[in-house]
């Protein structure tokens, strides 16, 4: 019987554990604080930021909600980030993507001080991750690690295929899976839009992580029985009955092959938000030099 990996439930457990961590910090006079900066009018981004604030409120993390007109100059955004970098009360900074076309995303990520980069995208933090000494793991790959652990999926010695090579998911996910530790030690293949014979590679895998941003590109014919499937994609498509959300995996056919699979929605998405809280609490504890035990460290 296929195990449907419930990201909502695992994320709720993490948030519950973080409440205790935040309480420990509070006893020491520290209140973790996350600042979010929104510079677009995208309704999905606005909803996502609002959900993040709701999660923070649940566990006791303070928030700063900063909105900037999308037509503002890039320098105005940098000024805001500089102010947040210098603010000792702020532990984590998140600049919500996407940014307007006149703003260089890479420059913005480099502008955030690495100690407050709770997304884990600053070049220094990327380098530490690759070197096996991460400060902050990017939230989506970190959340996937937690889902695999909770589902008792063995990564050591497994053949894993990551479909997608983005800096946000694909590359860090592959790196985490190959790290020499209890949640790694996998043999990893990264596939992408230029990969020949993709189905041959996914059929040879014990674990398939689909993160290419292409609706339902992986189906059951591309999988072997007993595989674990993690679907990172979330795509809105039009149907005869209106629009619906689908992942990068064609769920019905894949679920017939998989021993474990994440649904869309309710799989990876909630874990991404949960690990943002995790990173923010970690940042606050490290800045204050307070020793706490984070859930599933």
64-88 confidence digits (pLDDT tens) = 999 999 999 999 999 999 999 999 9
Report yes or no on 51 lying in a domain. Answer: yes
Are residues 46 and 118 located together in one domain of the fold? yes
Are residues 213 and 120 located together in one domain of the fold? no
Tokens 């941003």 sit at which residue? Answer: 213
DSSP state of 167: T
* Domain span including residue 172: 139-269
Q: How far apart are the first and last CA of the chain?
A: 30
Report yes or no on 14 lying in a domain. Answer: no
DSSP state of 250: -
pLDDT more than 90, % of the chain: 94
Are residues 281 and 221 located together in one domain of the fold? no
Report yes or no on 5 lying in a domain. Answer: no
Are residues 98 and 163 located together in one domain of the fold? no
pLDDT surpassing 70 at residue 128: yes
Are residues 275 and 265 located together in one domain of the fold? no
Residue 230 phi/psi, 5-degree rounding, is -115, 120
Report yes or no on 237 lying in a domain. Answer: yes
Domain count, the chain: 2
| Mean pLDDT on 103-116 | 97
Are residues 123 and 151 located together in one domain of the fold? no
247 close to 234: Cβ distance less than 8 angstroms: yes
Are residues 240 and 172 located together in one domain of the fold? yes
Query: pLDDT at position 170, please?
Result: 98
Annotated active-site residue 96? The verdict is yes
d(CA 176, CA 180): 9
CA 110 vs CA 95, 105, 117: distances in Å: 12, 9, 9
Confidence of residue 297 (pLDDT cuts 50, 70, 90): low
Are residues 100 and 154 located together in one domain of the fold? no
Are residues 94 and 157 located together in one domain of the fold? no
Annotated active-site residue 52? The verdict is yes
Catalytic residue among 117, 119, 206, 231: 119
């Amino acid at each position: 019987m296929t195990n449907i990996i419930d990201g909502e439930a695992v994320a709720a457990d993490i948030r519950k554990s973080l409440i205790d961590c935040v309480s420990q910090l509070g006893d020491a006079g520290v209140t973790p604080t996350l600042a979010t900066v929104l510079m677009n009018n995208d309704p999905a981004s606005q909803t996502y930021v609002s959900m993040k604030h709701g999660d923070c409120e649940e566990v006791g993390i303070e928030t700063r909600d900063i909105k900037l007109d999308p037509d503002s100059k890039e320098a105005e955004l940098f000024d805001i980030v500089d102010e947040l970098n210098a603010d000792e009360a702020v532990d984590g900074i998140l600049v919500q993507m996407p940014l307007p076309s006149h703003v260089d995303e890479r420059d913005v990520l480099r502008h955030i001080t690495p100690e407050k980069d709770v997304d884990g995208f600053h070049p220094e933090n990327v380098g530490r991750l690759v070197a096996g000494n991460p400060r902050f793991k990017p939230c989506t790959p970190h959340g996937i690690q937690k889902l695999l652990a909770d589902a008792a999926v063995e990564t050591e010695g497994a053949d894993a295929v990551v479909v997608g090579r983005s800096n946000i998911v694909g590359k860090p996910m592959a790196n985490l899976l190959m790290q020499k530790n209890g949640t790694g030690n996998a043999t990893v293949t990264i596939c992408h839009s230029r990969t020949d014979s993709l189905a041959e590679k996914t059929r040879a895998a014990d674990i398939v992580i689909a993160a290419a941003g292409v609706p339902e590109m992986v189906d059951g014919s591309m999988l072997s029985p007993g595989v674990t499937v993690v679907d990172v994609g979330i795509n809105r498509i039009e149907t005869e009955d209106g629009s619906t959300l689908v992942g990068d995996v064609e769920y019905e056919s894949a679920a017939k092959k998989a021993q474990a699979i994440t649904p869309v929605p309710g799989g990876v998405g909630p874990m991404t938000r949960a690990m943002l809280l995790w990173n923010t609490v970690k940042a606050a504890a490290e800045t204050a030099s307070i020793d706490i035990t984070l859930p599933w460290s």
